[in-house]
Structure 1
Amino acid sequence: MSQKPMKNLFTFSTKGKRIAILAIAMALFITTTSLVLIDGKKKTVSLALNGKQTELRTAAATVEELLAANDIQVKTHDHLEPSMDTPIEHGLAIQWKQAKKVTIDVDGKTQELWTTEQTVQDVLKKANVDVTTHDEVEPALAANISDNQPITVEKAFQVIVKDGGKESTHWSTSTTVADFLRDQNIRLTELDKVEGDSKAKLTASNATVNIARVEKVTDVVEESENFKVQTKTDPKLLKGREKVVQEGKKGKVQRRFEVTKKNGKVVSRELVSEKVIEKPTHKVVRVGSKVMVASANSQSDGNVGVSRSDAPSGGREFYANASAYTAYCNGCSGTTATGIDLRANPNLKVIAVDPSVIPLGSKVWVEGYGYAVAGDTGGAIKGNRIDLHMPTKAQAYQFGRRQVKIKVIN
């Protein structure tokens, strides 16, 4: 076989490979050149998505083309800056914030809104909801919001508490009195009382809580027990006279009281039990029942004169202011304090006295009147004052008023 054809075949094969390699190299060169040319036309921009920063190289002509190329869909309530039709320039900063739907409930009044704010505090500020220190907000003000986020705000108001008479002011968001007392850690005993219904709602216009502090205490005291006065009739003792046979003495009793106090003031005091420590000694008094018998010793002419010559010797002597009365005077019954019937015995010598000065039943001598018995009393007869019984009004008027000497004989 000839060698030449073999050489030609090898030469042809080598040339084909060179041509293929050259073609590939040219294609790569063209592609690389195209890419370099294309890349040279791209611009670098920054894209902030909900606060997260990303840098992009793009050949897009506008912001809208850039977002579409990156499959970013901007919705109606989203925040985009700059606008969609803004031309792309090198170093352009694009901000895109996705809007979220939130529901705000302020004391039962709700509103819905779309927002691009990130925290509860910023959302409330954007919605013009003023929040004070004492208000309750759920979630917390610093919490990040999510889509369809509910936000609840309970506005605080001042509550006046009158607790046991002491007044204080508190901030609260409680809806009922019972909730308020629990939140404020105000404890009540079984006896304490809250005025009104504890389940009643508290509002800014009706925010007063009245608490009555009730307590019951036991009070044990020793008290004196009065003695009784026992009277016994004594027929030997002149009527109108009394004689103490036994002096009275008070006893002692221990009494136990249940005392109820409301706001520190006693509202009731109930006797629970009592114990006699010392019995009282009763006073015994004898009361005379003997009717006095007076003698008649009046002047026959009916005139009352003044004589100083017939005064008896002995006896207690003093001067007294004297007046006269009859058994038929206004308000008179005709019977004396010692039981003498003056209407039946108009001529009896009887005088009305102050028993502390002249004891009833005493025999006396009165200047210008003679011997008589102290057998009557009178409301106006006090001290050294006496009233003389006269048979008639004429005699009483005749005597008038005068100062006389009087002797108490016995």
Structure 2
Amino acid sequence: MVLRTHDLRKKLREHLKSSALILIALAAVLGSSAAATDWAGALYILTGVEDSAIVLDGSQDIPDLSDRMMYVASGSKGYDIRLDSKLDVTIRHDGQALTTVSKKESISALLTRMGITLSPLEMVAVDLSDQELVLTVAEDVTYYDEVREAEAFNTVRVANPDLPKGTERVVQEGMDGIRTSIYEVVWSNGKCISRQFVEELDSTAVDQIVEYGTAVSSVGRTDRIASISKNADGSGTLIFESGATLNFSQAKSMTATAYTAGHGGADYTTATGTFVEVGTVAVDKNVIPLGTRMYIVTNDGIVYGMSVARDTGVKGNKVDLYYNSYRECIEFGRRSCTVYILE
């Protein structure tokens, strides 16, 4: 027989919070000979009264059920549960439901008083989830055990493109808590034959959140953009395959050409007085101010990469990219590109 006070999927959480299910596996001695004694000679398993099931086999302390008007007692023949008087009791057995009011008596004595003699294979489950006491007598019993265990907090690391690479900060302190798990437990013939995990309800542990910086001032020429995060104002972040990030304030669609020293009147020094090198870009200073740091990618996939506006000689929405050889300039030709203005 499977005992389910509520549908498992819809109401298991609510049921387990208020339930105090007491499973009593009674031995065959609870027949005519047991009726003459106060002791059931039984194995009692209590669930819902502690963080996990309690087996009354002498290995644990006797629990206090006085708030339920019940008392666990022990004697030479084992354990039994004594009831206070005037408790409403329903007994379910062989498809019938009997009702009575308890006297100051043990559960085994109550069953005997109601004319119920257990077979060697039957067990008694005592459900305290409602105001009345419900006893179910059956050969097979399934119940759900709520187990609470201490759980250490986890540390979650989150990339922050606004923090310099190599730095980190704790934005939420972690806190240890309690994890609550549900197990389905099956008893048959007075023995536990199965205990299986059902689900984890919740945990009170609080994750520690650590932000680590990924922002860099430049990336290597072999590093490639893995993704781009854009903001509504046109700014955003370039996220590279290495994990490094570059923040940009603007992405400009422009036309790119190429030049090299000694051709077309180009000199070996720039308008700002530096020597030309790969990464030097000639701009219209009214469009892109001199000294601006950029990351440039053509629309057909050529990565020019990190660059600085150091030279002049072009007009309008154009950039002229420095290459070391005239052949590279010819191969590059004229292409559409995106110029990311770096912060």
TM (norm. structure 1) is: 0.22
Name the structure with the higher helix share: 1
Structure with the higher strand share, 1 or 2 = 2
